[in-house]
């Protein structure tokens, strides 16, 4: 970057003022009040970044550089800063997290005031609201964008997203109608809808949690065999699929079947699972005829391998391949051509995760692919809901173990070869050690809850 974070924050404050001071246009043709307000939002975001410690995320670095460009445009007489404002909003969105999405929304709000007929501004506002889970407001913004968009081809993605958001809301409405139509007392002794406060107008994360609770309570009350409960569970599954995936099937997935949490739970149910470390020793033993390790691995129902498998033979059995997208996004790298029955790809933010799947999946190399509901199991509020680790993503093996433990359907899970150079970090080993049922020369067996 051309200047330090502190220096940039000083420049932003000098132009736009400090928090609590209403932005005012400077005399002599200075920036519009909306641009000053946008800069002030950027200043607040920079201050939060500065307080969070050293920056190591390239996405945030690009956002800071974009804020620097916006600051320069706002301080240059005669410069048109509008396009820079939109680019900064997009960089904020790409930086990930709620804070980035909130900044993008704030910048989009100022942009729509500056130019009410800018289709780019309304698209940015829709995307930001969508990222924050505010689906109904996102639909309104997307519709404003479509009203201004003359390019039919460019409008298709937005039209599809609107259809998806509406379909997800319709599943909630049908679920509420189904619960309200039930005879007798509602869930939890009161009306089910009131008990869990489920609504299509809730933010997506809250709606997902409320929907989960509604299904749990109604299942407890009436049993899983009840026809209304079965329909409610089906609506919940459809809502989960629609929450993070477009309504239409993606032809670029190479014919693989997308699976979510219910599908993965069924895939693992009652099976013995082993996670095999990719080490030269393990690979050599697997390929040796008559090897006891090869026989041990072959005896499991499912064999899991993680990330780039460099040592195991290309023909080595892989029933489930899991990979974590690391480093700068969008994530580029070799295509996933190792044959696997199912593949799970962990990564965030969602748009770059989708792009990675479309560019790196090989048609025919997998029968099933984990959908977006499985892309961040450690941090998803509907799954493990843990806070993000400041040290970066967890190891892929640990993420898989935590997911299997959460699902609770495998009959047994063992680790093979995770010692020496392949040993997991101390924090992850501590979690495994608390669940270790047996250790021998080849495997660590953990007991799932």
**Predicted confidence (pLDDT) per residue in 105-160, tens digit:** 999 999 999 999 999 999 999 999 998 999 999 999 999 999 998 887 678 788 88
CA distance 152 to 159: 10
**Residue 52 pLDDT > 80, yes or no?**
no
The pLDDT assigned to 392 comes to 67
Q: Other C-beta atoms within 10 Å of 19: how many?
A: 10
**Residue 292 pLDDT > 50, yes or no?**
yes
The pLDDT assigned to 57 comes to 66
CA distance 413 to 299: 13
Mean pLDDT within 330-343:
87
The pLDDT assigned to 191 comes to 46
**Residue 190 pLDDT > 80, yes or no?**
no
How does DSSP classify residue 137?
A: H
Each residue of 162-198: b (16+ CB within 10 Å) or e? Answer: bebbeebbebbeebbebbeebeeebbbeeebbebbeb
Question: How would you classify residue 99: left for phi > 0, otherwise alpha for psi between -120 and 50, otherwise beta?
Answer: alpha
What pTM, to 2 d.p., does this model score?
Answer: 0.55
The pLDDT assigned to 254 comes to 59
């Amino acid at each position: 970057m051309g200047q330090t974070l502190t220096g940039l924050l000083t420049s932003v404050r000098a132009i736009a003022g400090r928090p609590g001071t209403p932005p005012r246009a400077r005399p002599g043709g200075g920036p519009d009040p909306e641009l000053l307000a946008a800069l002030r939002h950027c200043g607040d975001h920079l201050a939060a970044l500065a307080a969070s410690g050293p920056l190591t995320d390239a996405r945030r670095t690009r956002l800071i550089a974009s804020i620097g460009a916006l600051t320069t445009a706002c301080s240059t007489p005669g410069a048109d800063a509008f396009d820079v404002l939109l680019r900064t909003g997009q960089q904020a969105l790409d930086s990930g997290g709620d804070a980035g999405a909130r900044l993008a929304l704030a910048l989009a709000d100022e942009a729509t005031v500056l130019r009410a007929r800018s289709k780019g501004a309304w698209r940015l506002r829709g995307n930001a609201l969508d990222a924050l889970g505010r689906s109904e407001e996102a639909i309104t913004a997307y519709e404003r964008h479509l009203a201004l968009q003359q390019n039919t081809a460019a409008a298709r993605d937005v039209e599809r997203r609107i259809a998806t958001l509406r379909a997800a809301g319709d599943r909630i409405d049908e679920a509420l109608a189904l619960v309200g139509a039930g005879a007798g007392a509602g869930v939890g002794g009161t009306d089910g809808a009131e008990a869990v406060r489920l609504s299509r107008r809730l933010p997506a994360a809250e709606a997902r949690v409320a929907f989960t609770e509604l299904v749990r309570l109604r299942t407890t009350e009436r049993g899983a065999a009840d026809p209304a409960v079965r329909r409610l569970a089906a609506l919940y599954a459809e809502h989960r699929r629609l929450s993070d995936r477009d309504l239409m099937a993606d032809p670029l997935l190479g014919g693989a079947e997308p699976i979510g949490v219910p599908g993965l739970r069924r895939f693992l149910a009652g099976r013995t699972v082993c996670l095999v470390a990719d080490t030269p020793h393990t690979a050599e033993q697997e390929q040796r005829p008559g090897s006891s390790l090869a026989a041990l691995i072959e005896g499991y129902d499912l064999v899991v391998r993680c990330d780039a498998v460099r040592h195991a033979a290309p023909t080595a059995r892989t029933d489930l391949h899991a990979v974590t997208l690391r480093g700068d996004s969008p994530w580029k790298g070799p295509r996933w051509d190792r044959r696997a029955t199912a593949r799970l790809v962990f990564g965030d933010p969602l748009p770059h995760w989708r792009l990675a799947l479309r560019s790196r999946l090989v048609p025919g190399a997998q029968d099933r692919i984990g959908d977006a509901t499985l892309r961040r199991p450690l941090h998803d509020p509907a799954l493990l809901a843990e806070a993000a680790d400041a040290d970066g993503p967890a190891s892929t093996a640990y993420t898989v173990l935590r997911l299997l433990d959460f699902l609770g359907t495998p009959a047994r899970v063992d680790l093979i070869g995770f010692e020496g150079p392949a040993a997991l970090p101390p924090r992850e080993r501590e979690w495994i050690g608390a669940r270790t049922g047996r250790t021998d020369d080849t495997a660590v067996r953990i007991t799932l809850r």
